[in-house]
Amino acid sequence: MKSYFSNGKGWGKMSLYKRILVGVDGSNEAEAAFRRAVQFVKAEEDAVLGIGFVADVRRIAPLIDYEQTYAKKAKAYGEELVEIYKQEALRFGVQHIETFVHFGTPKSTLVRKILKNFQADLIVVGATGLTQTEQALLGSVTDYVTRTAPCDVFIVKNDTNVTDSVSLGNAVFFVCKYKKLFDNIQLE
């Protein structure tokens, strides 16, 4: 997206965003946010795309017998997921990409760790996929990021009606939707 401003001599090009961060979790909302982030990056020469994944071990670990096994699998899943997004970004012509995989609460880890390390000037997030009940209990990552991020936040609304698209921080969603994929991850 190009932006223009009046420099007193007419309209000239103004650089908007050079470091664009998108959080991914495998949901349709994250996919829509990723596609929009790629558009922002491609519109600005030398812009950098940051792709971040946060596994919420604290919420899910009590449901799984072996916390260490879960942590290893979550890390492997996150690394695989961001690699898939990275390859897709490369395929779309994005040249500068940084990836992040962290453990913690997705909403605060995205703002406090990933954003701090990446120093983004724009965060692109998907509109929440939570139901009203889940949002009341868990809170929305999008809402938290919008309120606390020190940079601009761009919210992408997904047009498709998705009923099972929730952050991996939601233990029930994780166990139901990703158990098969998760169980198939081979650890070294």
Distance CA 178, CA 172 (A): 10
Q: Global pTM?
A: 0.71
Per-residue model confidence (pLDDT) at position 142: 80
Residue written as token pair 């998705």: 162
Number of compact structural domains in the chain = 1
Per-residue model confidence (pLDDT) at position 143: 82
Distance CA 102, CA 55 (A): 6
Per-residue model confidence (pLDDT) at position 73: 80
Per-residue model confidence (pLDDT) at position 165: 32
Residue 10 located in a structural domain:
no
Distance CA 8, CA 10 (A): 6
123-133 as b/e, with b when 16 or more CB fall inside 10 Å?
A: bbbbebbbeee
Per-residue model confidence (pLDDT) at position 47: 95
DSSP H or E segment with residue 106:
helix 106-109
Cβ within 8 Å of residue 33, ≥6 positions away? 22, 23, 24, 124, 125, 126, 156
User: The tokens of 15 are what?
Assistant: 């650089």
Per residue of the chain (188 residues), give pLDDT as tens.
444 444 455 455 555 899 999 988 888 888 899 999 999 999 998 999 999 998 876 655 555 555 567 777 888 888 999 999 999 999 999 999 999 998 887 778 888 888 889 999 999 988 865 555 555 555 678 888 888 888 999 988 865 433 333 333 332 233 333 444 444 444 44
Per-residue model confidence (pLDDT) at position 149: 87
Per-residue model confidence (pLDDT) at position 144: 84
Q: Nearest Cα to 52, choosing from 20, 88, 92?
A: 20
Residue 146 located in a structural domain:
yes
Per-residue model confidence (pLDDT) at position 118: 92
Virtual torsion, Cα 88, 32, 174, 97, nearest 10 deg? 40
Angular region, 50: left φ>0, alpha ψ -120 to 50, beta rest: beta
CB-facing half-sphere around the CA of 101: CA atoms within 13 A: 16
**What separation, in Å, do the N-terminal and C-terminal C-alpha atoms of the chain show?**
43
Residue 119 located in a structural domain:
yes
Residue 4 located in a structural domain:
no
Residue 7 located in a structural domain:
no
User: The tokens of 13 are what?
Assistant: 């090009």
Residue 165 located in a structural domain:
yes
Q: Could you list the residue range(s) of the whole structural domain that residue 31 is in?
A: 17-183
Return the bridge partners of 26, or none.
none
The CATH number assigned to the domain holding 132 equals 3.40.50.620
Return the bridge partners of 102, or none.
54
Residue 22 located in a structural domain:
yes
